[in-house]
Amino acid sequence: MLDVLEHMSQPFLALEAIEPKLRSNGIFVLRVPVIDSLMVRLAKLTYTATGARYRKPLDLLYRYHVIGFSTSSIRRSLEECGFEVIRSWRENSIDPSTLQGRSWAKSVVERILTRQILFWQTALRLQDEIVVLAQKKVRD
């Protein structure tokens, strides 16, 4: 389930519905944006520092998202819905080589800033998406 859960009004019901359909040795792959990324933190800081006048970064990040997850909340949600997290890692949602063609990165300044944010997100391990591999919890 890649980049879907954050668009659902009841994501926990979706997770609970998936768990019984997964084979005992099956792997569930989930990718969601996380609210504890460097990009989100900078977007909130920009919004606050400009007195709510500059909202473009927040609009781009949240326009279609119904719910936001942190790294810990998505892991906890999966565990509460009957999954055991096998492995997880963070990654950037944007490939820097595609910035030229992005409608929201029209100016050179926006592209340079975005490249810098992506670099520092990776360096600090605060990328804006998490990928989680999970399986059914083994029941005693």
- Tokens 């670099």 correspond to 119
How far is Cα of residue 79 from the mean position of the Cα atoms in its chain? 18
How does DSSP classify residue 115?
A: H
The domain segmentation of the chain, as residue ranges, is: 5-94+125-135
pTM score, whole prediction = 0.84
Task: Tell me the pLDDT of the chain (140 aa) as tens digits.
Answer: 899 999 999 999 999 999 899 998 899 999 999 999 998 899 889 889 989 888 877 777 777 888 989 999 999 999 999 999 999 999 998 888 887 777 777 788 878 888 898 899 999 999 999 999 999 987 76
- At 52, list the tokens: 């709510």
Query: Which amino acid, residue 20?
Result: P
Element (H, E) at 48: helix 38-49
Nearest to 75 by CA among 8, 15, 118: 15
- Looking at the domain that runs over 5-94+125-135, which CATH code has it been given? 3.40.50.150
- At 103, list the tokens: 């409608």
